[in-house]
Amino acid sequence: MIHVRGLQKAYQGVSVLTEIDFDVKRGEFFGIIGPNGSGKSTLLKMISSVIAPDAGEITLADKPLARYTRKELARILAVLEQEGLPPVGFRVREVLEMGRFPYQNWLGEEKDDVTPLIEEIMQLLGLVPLAERTLDQLSGGEKQRVALGKALVQKPQLLLLDEPTTYLDIGYQIQLMDIVRKWQKTTQVTVVAVLHDLNLASLYCDRILMLHKGVQIGVGTPQDMLQTDKIEAVYGTRPIVMEHPVHHLPQIMLQSRA
């Protein structure tokens, strides 16, 4: 689904990403992890074509990213970002309808009736009781679900998540990630997620790319990447890594040095 080759980016002459090379398979849940400032968001912005690389190439569904028009790209790719929501006066149902923009003609009309799709996604995300509320009447967690709804109604082949659980409590973190995974099973969407929480990354990602100071430390399964020495080298803190008793995946416990 995605091929990234020799990607490089610098801001004002300061290199923030060098020699990034990886592939993401169709239907995969792919995580990007790394400390603050390691280049995760920059990489995601290049995949969504918000910024251009200085060198290297990204291929999306067998076509170089640079050759997509904005509208073509919007039919393939959706980005979950809370800042991507419209101004506060819009109602939840209207915001979800806006997600269909890539499929509408210049009159804002679409060939097929999308009401069933919008209803299905509102059900999936528990947004039915909030449908007529305006965005300013929602909590941070509810807004995050609306933003996810707007991304899902696009029916993307590729869903990009930039720290999707930042404002969510543990219950909503698991709920949001489970919803994405459930949706992935029915639609085969490819998911690329920047995640700060290494334990969530371990539970949900098929493979993980680890960045450190703009350099690719490695790409591999959670077992390959979430090892004590690697985490210490990159994050500067030595955790205890244990196997999850139910999911049999690595989970980390932090150790205080005080």
Ligand X SMILES: Nc1ncnc2c1ncn2[C@@H]1O[C@H](COP(=O)(O)OP(=O)(O)OP(=O)(O)O)[C@@H](O)[C@H]1O
- What string marks each residue from 132 to 171 as x (binds ligand X by CB under 6 A) or -? ----------------------------------------
One residue of 7, 31, 38, 145 binding ligand X per CB under 6 A: 38
Binding of ligand X at residue 202 (CB under 6 A)? Answer: no
Residues shown for the chain: 258
**Least CB distance to ligand X at residue 73 (A):** 20
Binding of ligand X at residue 16 (CB under 6 A)? Answer: yes
Binding of ligand X at residue 178 (CB under 6 A)? Answer: no
Interface segment toward ligand X; rule CB under 6 A; list 40-48, 61-69, 134-142, 218-226: 40-48
| Integer Cα distance of 119 and 105 in angstroms | 22
Of residues 16 and 201, the one with the C-beta less far from ligand X? 16
**Least CB distance to ligand X at residue 105 (A):** 35
* Cβ(241)–Cβ(251) below 8 Å: yes
What pairing do the DSSP bridges indicate for beta strands 2-11 and 55-60? antiparallel
| Integer Cα distance of 173 and 177 in angstroms | 6
Structure tokens at 34: 């790394």
| Integer Cα distance of 149 and 99 in angstroms | 8
Using CB under 6 A as the binding criterion, the count of chain residues that bind ligand X stands at 11
| Integer Cα distance of 138 and 32 in angstroms | 29
Mapping DSSP to helix (H, G, I), strand (E, B) and coil, where does residue 219 land? strand
The one-letter code for the residue type at 13 is G
Of residues 157 and 165, the one with the C-beta less far from ligand X? 165
**Least CB distance to ligand X at residue 40 (A):** 4
| Integer Cα distance of 255 and 258 in angstroms | 9
Of residues 153 and 209, the one with the C-beta less far from ligand X? 209
One residue of 42, 144, 157, 202 binding ligand X per CB under 6 A: 42
| Integer Cα distance of 185 and 177 in angstroms | 12
Structure tokens at 141: 């967690």
Binding of ligand X at residue 11 (CB under 6 A)? Answer: yes
Binding of ligand X at residue 52 (CB under 6 A)? Answer: no
Residues in the site for ligand X, rule: CB under 6 A?
11-12, 16, 34, 36-42
